[in-house]
Structure 1
């Protein structure tokens, strides 16, 4: 079975049914994988642009006249915009087509990069830096549109791996830009060299998306789905869990270098040697989190992942109080790895939850798949946006902690408490009633839903 030739201009595929194994094996998998790789490239550049200010602030010495609190506020603003734009970016895929919007969203990255290239020099006002930082936030939106697009290409049984790989490849843009910055700082170069490298890369990503990606005609905006997803309690429960995983990843990515320079007195070059390791490993392991969730259930992986994150945070508190840099950096890297693993497992849960709800309503076969895909696609945008707000909270918490206590210890205590809340929520909602222990008074649909939740 082959995919019908596009009937509209702009590489549109009119029929797409990845749950049909004959279709998937004949042509679907090849097309889906091609779109996945170029989606990863565009999202990768988007993450690099979104997090470039975590690197640029390391270049900004005393001659720029910015305090540590100013820098944390600047990175908080960038993170905030990246979180907010994820909502419209989610729905842009259905309005313009996945391929078309990837081209547009990649091209838009030129605006913040060129603007930063223009203003990056001593004497520029803090308000100007804030304005340019607002522009950089659009790089965070690429994740939402990319995940929504790729979610439609793959069958449910492959979503954990595909979404994990797509997100992990995007996340790895964080350590890559930090590594490039390290090389530039080490060579005595300035921030404009870094920005000059990325401008042509943005053009390359947009051109390749135009040449090799496809639009799916079956992906359509459904305001009813958005409303249904917003009204569903599981959307907001998963948003809280995603704050704990992705919010931690992006928040720590922005803040790690600043914590090292402020709390441990590292120079920008010394900090740059260390900051890329955690985001790199956290990005690489995200597909593993998705794969483990495919095999063992996302809820189980997420639950124990929060145990690990809480334990690592407790050790970080002790390392910070003892001013032990080797222990602090080592455990921070572990925390990055766990946040990446949890990113993969939590996002895998989303399509499984909504398909389980569809089955519990009595839908079967393609009807259940379509309903699950309809709601999970809408929910992903909201969950991704709220999850990214966790990065804002982390940077603001660090800012307040350094203002109040002169260290990041207060912030880590708050993070420890939040991870404990996430553990309880995961257990209470998705794992409290394991298979075989549903009360006899539960209805058949409730039983079916609960059993399915244990497997999501």
Structure 2
């Protein structure tokens, strides 16, 4: 970010807003006069286009979570037994849904560095346009019944590029807004992406059903329905790509801070918080991908009820409630403390996992659904509380170091912000990889035990251990009980 001095304020105190995109060689949003003279409009313009592109990234990222539930009926033998809970079919389905999760999590690190190197305008154009490859590829190959499994695995991996869009989008928007408005802007950007999961899980089953009703309820009809549900995103992807190319801006002074990344990587708190974020966001994204498959495999009869299927109406609710509960997690953390809310959320997630096990054992879909929705709500709250903890932890560490070594407090605070920003990129990538681990646990449990119950017991135990980890490092001592709740930084 540009350093604001008296000289720069005098040289360029105002800004001219333009609709067309361009390189911005001078950008100082923390200067009130500069901000109010048109920079605010430019920042909001870029935020709106970023939300649109990121929302589509999440939509394509999660598309396989729903598509696999219809591919058996579309004539693909490797998923033909999914509605009977066949272990091989369930395993293949979870491989297809977990692969995008893994690729998306890995790409989050390089995507964070792409904005300073290529500029927000160019890279958003590329990342949005890239979504056409897995979309058009799936639309073509799903109409080739002899297509081997590995081709679909490759297409699922390419869909993972949509998951990487989160990091580049968040990094880009962070440069546009002043410190006092950055939290709200990043919160809007993150929520817009997360809602892409829910909208895909709502729209795709309905479009598949529409396609089969327009043709025939046979394999060809299901292939047409899947094609329709995939191609519907193409006009939006083209619009996002064109919008980014024509209207977004790039900030030439947006540079990455390599020193802050090195400091963040050597801090134990980066790795502790990564583990906690695996439990919260990893669970959210992993269960979001797997939820349609879990309903289909464990309660297959419910997917056959009427024109608007139960599968199409209910699977999306998990991602929806998890997305909306995330801001609440950050807000309540301001009042009570991020560490305390994280402990409560993880303990609740362990209880919800036990209730899901009971629902599976009793074959009770209402108990299964309510328990899963509770789990999703708690993952959202945990996402908000853990992200709220990160900048506060680094600030507390920097303040303590400044007091001990006589460092200027303002310098310590600025360093803490940079380290927290760097840590968030690392933590976000590792946390997303938890979604892959979670789905693989489901797959291995189903293969080895012909049941998903052992996996849910493992989740419950992991959530309890994470709650204990949070208490040990951030509530047991005086380090974070008050300090972690003291700062209201960005809830991303």
Normalised by the size of structure 1, how large is the TM-score?
A: 0.89
Structure of greater Rg:
2
Tell me, yes or no, if structure 1 residue 136 matches structure 2 residue 159. yes
Task: Note the alpha carbon deviations across 1:108-156, whole angstroms, 9 max, x for none.
Answer: 1111111111211322100111111111111110111122223344455
The alignment of Structure 1 onto Structure 2 pairs a total of residues equal to 441
- Alpha-carbon distance between aligned partners in 2 of 1:365 and 1:34, rounded to the nearest angstrom: 35
> 2:433 — aligned with what?
389
> 1:356 — aligned with what?
396
- Alpha-carbon distance between aligned partners in 1 of 2:389 and 2:174, rounded to the nearest angstrom: 13
- Alpha-carbon distance between aligned partners in 1 of 2:453 and 2:365, rounded to the nearest angstrom: 14
Tell me, yes or no, if structure 1 residue 165 matches structure 2 residue 188. yes
Select the residue among 278, 284, 290 that pairs with 1:249. Answer: 284
How far apart are residue 29 of structure 1 and its match?
5.1
Is the alpha carbon distance of 1:80 and 1:124 closer, same or farther for their aligned partners in structure 2, counting shifts above 3 Å?
same
How far apart are residue 400 of structure 1 and its match?
1.2
Tell me, yes or no, if structure 1 residue 81 matches structure 2 residue 81. no
1:35-184 aligned at under 5 Å gives the runs 35-61=46-72, 63-66=75-78, 67-121=89-143, 122-154=145-177, 158-184=181-207
Is the alpha carbon distance of 1:420 and 1:25 closer, same or farther for their aligned partners in structure 2, counting shifts above 3 Å?
farther
The unaligned stretches of length 5 or more in structure 1 are 439-448
- Alpha-carbon distance between aligned partners in 2 of 1:55 and 1:374, rounded to the nearest angstrom: 38
- Is the partner of 2:451 in helix, strand or coil? coil
Contact (CA 8 Å) 1:167, 1:286: kept in 2 or not? no
Select the residue among 313, 316, 338 that pairs with 2:353. Answer: 313
- Alpha-carbon distance between aligned partners in 2 of 1:219 and 1:177, rounded to the nearest angstrom: 33
How far apart are residue 366 of structure 1 and its match?
5.1
- Alpha-carbon distance between aligned partners in 1 of 2:444 and 2:229, rounded to the nearest angstrom: 30
> 1:452 — aligned with what?
483
> 1:209 — aligned with what?
244
Contact (CA 8 Å) 1:230, 1:379: kept in 2 or not? yes
Tell me, yes or no, if structure 1 residue 262 matches structure 2 residue 292. no
> 1:402 — aligned with what?
446
Is the alpha carbon distance of 1:364 and 1:47 closer, same or farther for their aligned partners in structure 2, counting shifts above 3 Å?
farther
> 2:371 — aligned with what?
331
Contact (CA 8 Å) 1:13, 1:214: kept in 2 or not? no
Contact (CA 8 Å) 1:160, 1:344: kept in 2 or not? no
Contact (CA 8 Å) 1:72, 1:399: kept in 2 or not? yes
How far apart are residue 168 of structure 1 and its match?
1.7
- Alpha-carbon distance between aligned partners in 2 of 1:393 and 1:68, rounded to the nearest angstrom: 16
- Is the partner of 2:211 in helix, strand or coil? coil
How far apart are residue 353 of structure 1 and its match?
2.5
Contact (CA 8 Å) 1:299, 1:349: kept in 2 or not? yes
Is the alpha carbon distance of 1:91 and 1:245 closer, same or farther for their aligned partners in structure 2, counting shifts above 3 Å?
same
- Alpha-carbon distance between aligned partners in 1 of 2:246 and 2:334, rounded to the nearest angstrom: 32
- Alpha-carbon distance between aligned partners in 2 of 1:299 and 1:158, rounded to the nearest angstrom: 24
> 2:311 — aligned with what?
271
Task: Note the alpha carbon deviations across 1:324-366, whole angstroms, 9 max, x for none.
Answer: 1111011111211211222122222223333333333325565
Is the alpha carbon distance of 1:64 and 1:47 closer, same or farther for their aligned partners in structure 2, counting shifts above 3 Å?
same
How far apart are residue 34 of structure 1 and its match?
3.6
Is the alpha carbon distance of 1:148 and 1:181 closer, same or farther for their aligned partners in structure 2, counting shifts above 3 Å?
same
> 1:15 — aligned with what?
27
Contact (CA 8 Å) 1:90, 1:148: kept in 2 or not? yes
1:187-202 aligned at under 5 Å gives the runs 187-189=210-212, 190-202=225-237
1:27-38 aligned at under 5 Å gives the runs 30-38=41-49
> 1:442 — aligned with what?
none
How far apart are residue 87 of structure 1 and its match?
0.8
> 1:412 — aligned with what?
456
- Is the partner of 1:15 in helix, strand or coil? coil
Normalised by the size of structure 2, how large is the TM-score?
A: 0.83
- Is the partner of 1:267 in helix, strand or coil? helix
- Alpha-carbon distance between aligned partners in 1 of 2:112 and 2:104, rounded to the nearest angstrom: 12
Is the alpha carbon distance of 1:147 and 1:345 closer, same or farther for their aligned partners in structure 2, counting shifts above 3 Å?
farther
- Is the partner of 2:233 in helix, strand or coil? helix
Contact (CA 8 Å) 1:160, 1:291: kept in 2 or not? no
- Alpha-carbon distance between aligned partners in 2 of 1:350 and 1:32, rounded to the nearest angstrom: 25
How far apart are residue 58 of structure 1 and its match?
1.4
How far apart are residue 23 of structure 1 and its match?
5.9
Select the residue among 243, 246, 270 that pairs with 1:235. Answer: 270
Contact (CA 8 Å) 1:247, 1:387: kept in 2 or not? yes
The unaligned stretches of length 5 or more in structure 2 are 1-8, 79-88, 213-224, 488-492
How far apart are residue 218 of structure 1 and its match?
3.9
